[in-house]
Amino acid sequence: MQALRACGAILAVLSVSAIITAAPGAGTVTGKVTYTGTPAKAKPIDMSKEPTCAKQHTTPEMTESAVTGPGNTLENVVVYISAGAPAEASTPSTPATFDQKGCHYTPHVLAFEVNQELKVVNSDQTSHNIHPLAKINREWNKSQPPGTPPLSEKYDKPEFISVKCNIHPWMHGYFAVLSTSHYAVSDASGDFKLPNLPPGKYTLTAWQESYGTQTQEVTIAGSETKTVNFSFVAKPY
């Protein structure tokens, strides 16, 4: 009986402790990224110098410096918490994957965390030479013949890094190396979502490769959803 009472007391203490330390409800930020003005028109990419890639596309691939959609929406915009985010408990164990297929980078903008493993895959039957043009992190330039294992790299500082292929000059993409796990890349409808935000005041930053950055402040009080929209001024570069 005494053992049962002791066990009950322990459970009661654990229950009180769980109540005290339970995290408050997390909030969500959703929004849409749009543009005003006149963006540069996407141009078809000539891959005739690499027939093995050209034949993979029924229609020509288009340049992606500003990917637009219905309602003046913008795709491939990185939206992230740039101030106020809680400290990260750990680095993601799942690698971020950057594929080369049809002499095209997929995705065009890859967002991942500082010290998270980056895997670069060559799905083509031709060699690539991937060259991220880092300015804050270490710059590297590696050849990747077809059939070889994925390249593995990590970055220890946040940075937006332009990526090119030294063999196929039309190949262009970006790495968005971030110091937070609270980020999203806008989809084909310009939409983004940042869930699981503890109560607090945050600075949101939106980055677009041709139009720069914007910031907005948002306060999360609890289990609520706030809407934050971004609008960039497009220019016909």
Rounded to 5 degrees, φ, ψ at 48 are -60, -25
Query: Does 172 score more than 80 pLDDT?
Result: yes
pLDDT attached to residue 237: 63
- High-pLDDT (> 90) share of the chain, %: 84
Mean pLDDT (whole number) for 22-47 = 88
Q: Can you tell me the distance from the alpha carbon of 95 to that of 119, in angstroms, rounded to the nearest whole number?
A: 6
- Identify the CA nearest to 128 among candidates 141, 105, 140, 145: 145
Residue 89: its pLDDT value, please? Answer: 77
Residue 226, beta-bridge partner list: 29
Query: Are residues 44 and 97 in contact, defined by beta-carbon separation less than 8 angstroms?
Result: no
Could you tell me which residue, 150 or 88, shows the higher pLDDT? 150
Q: How far apart are the first and last CA of the chain?
A: 81
Instruction: List, for residues 193-202, the tens digit of each pLDDT value.
Output: 999 999 999 9
Q: What local confidence, expressed as pLDDT, does residue 86 receive? A: 78
Domain boundaries, the chain: 24-234
What is the distance between the alpha carbons of residues 59 and 221, in angstroms, rounded to a whole number? 48
Give the pair of three-digit tokens for residue 71. 């309602």
Structure pTM?
0.87
How many CB atoms lie under 10 A from the CB of residue 176?
21
134: tokens are: 């880092």
Preceding amide of 51 cis, omega within 30: no
Rounded to 5 degrees, what angle do the CA atoms 230, 233, 235 make? 145
The correct answer on CATH 2.60.40.420 for the domain covering 24-234 is: yes
